[in-house]
Amino acid sequence: GTSEEGAPPIQQCFMIPKKEINVVSDMAKWKRSQAYADYMGFILTLNEGVRGKKLTCEYKVSEPIEKLVALLNTLDRWIDETPPVDQPSRFGNKAFRTWYAKLDQEAEKLVATVIPKHLADAAPEVAVYLKESVGNSTRIDYGTGHEAAFAAFLCCLCKIGVLRVDDQMAIVFKVFNRYLEVMRKLQKTYRMEPAGSQGVWGLDDFQFLPFIWGSSQLIDHPSLEPRHFVDEKVVNENHKDFMFLECILFITEMKTGPFAEHSNQLWNISAVPSWSKVNQGLIRMYKAECLEKFPVIQHFKFGSLLPIQPVTS
């Protein structure tokens, strides 16, 4: 059966390739952990916080938010100061390793600029997530596991009270959006490989969260429906307001050929009748394809802020 307007049923829209995966027994431990509960709770809270809101709307910008943007601006400036080097291979420019070494060295200092003095002891632990969030310096790749580390970095800042409940919109629209801009610049400048990409079966080579939060932004939009995001004119006119459309714009800039061929999963999603169904489907897909896949989550770090211990409540 098909849903409204002859669109394929939701299962089909979120087709997950039937691959047998070897999952270590610790995946069960991860899914039962306090870290998983806190991380997923954080993602879903922000999902609700940005529902129906444009990137360009008014929202509170606190001092810690401003400091986080300044931190990301520093990372951006370092890209300008570290141009790509001439090398035989087209992908994975080795200059990324120079850029990363600087972050590795400065991460704790950068985090200390965001955290108040009385919480300074948390800086080393929080800095680990920042370093994990920009890609791998050995492989010169970037993927959803690195993106998850940045969300974990922000989650930790919430747990220690640096970011608060009324920062929700600014966390997504100001900080996470700036992070995306810097990551796109890294990907373009150093021609980074997608980490653990599923190719045409994946949603996107590099990101996932902006599709979740971006679809939430579009829930109950008076005129934009999921079928519209494959329309170039609609994307060009509305991308500054919606994260989802910014992602589509970036994909079309980076890839050539028919959209249905290079981004098949997204093409399928454009047939889903409503943004709320898209949003729910993406959350399910994120859990199944990112958080519950060993290659993605094997690098996730646990500590006192995001513990591996089972959920207590």
Residue 8, domain member (yes or no): no
The answer to whether 269 and 259 have CB atoms below 8 angstroms apart is no
Q: What is the structure's pLDDT at 5? A: 41
How many angstroms separate the Cα of 37 from the Cα of each of 183, 212, 272, 312? 26, 18, 28, 10
So what's the pLDDT on residue 210?
A: 97
Q: Is residue 310 part of a domain?
A: no
Residuewise pLDDT in 10s, the chain (313 residues) = 333 444 333 333 343 333 333 333 578 889 999 999 999 999 999 999 999 999 999 999 999 999 999 999 999 999 999 999 999 988 899 999 999 999 999 999 999 999 999 999 999 999 999 999 999 999 999 999 999 999 999 999 999 999 999 999 999 999 999 999 999 999 999 999 998 766 556 788 899 999 999 999 999 999 999 999 999 999 999 999 999 999 999 999 988 889 988 888 999 999 999 999 999 999 999 999 899 888 888 888 999 999 989 997 6
158 within some domain: yes
Number of domains in the chain: 1
Distance in angstroms (rounded) separating the CA atoms of residues 258 and 174: 32
The answer to whether residue 298 is domain-embedded is yes
Q: Is residue 223 part of a domain?
A: yes
Please check whether residue 313 lies inside any domain of the structure. no
Q: What is the pLDDT of residue 143?
A: 92
In a domain? residue 3 = no
In a domain, 312, yes or no: no
Q: What is the CATH number of the domain that holds 107?
A: 1.20.120.1150
Question: What integer pLDDT is reported at residue 2 of this predicted model?
Answer: 37
Query: Can you spell out the DSSP letters for the chain?
Result: ---GGGPPPHHHHT----------THHHHHHHBHHHHHHHHHHHHHHHHTTT--TTS-----HHHHHHHHHHHHHHHHHHHSPPPP-SSSSS-THHHHHHHHHHHHHHHHHHTTS-GGGGGGHHHHHHHHHHTT-BTTTTEE-HHHHHHHHHHHHHHHHTTSS-GGGHHHIIIIIIHHHHHHHHHHHHHTTPEETT--GGGSS-SS-SHHHHHHHHHTTT-SS--GGGGG-HHHHHHHTTT-HHHHHHHHHHHH--S-HHHHTHHHHHHTTSS-HHHHHHHHHHHHIIIIIT-HHHHTT----SSS--SBP--
Domain residues for 132? 19-85+92-302
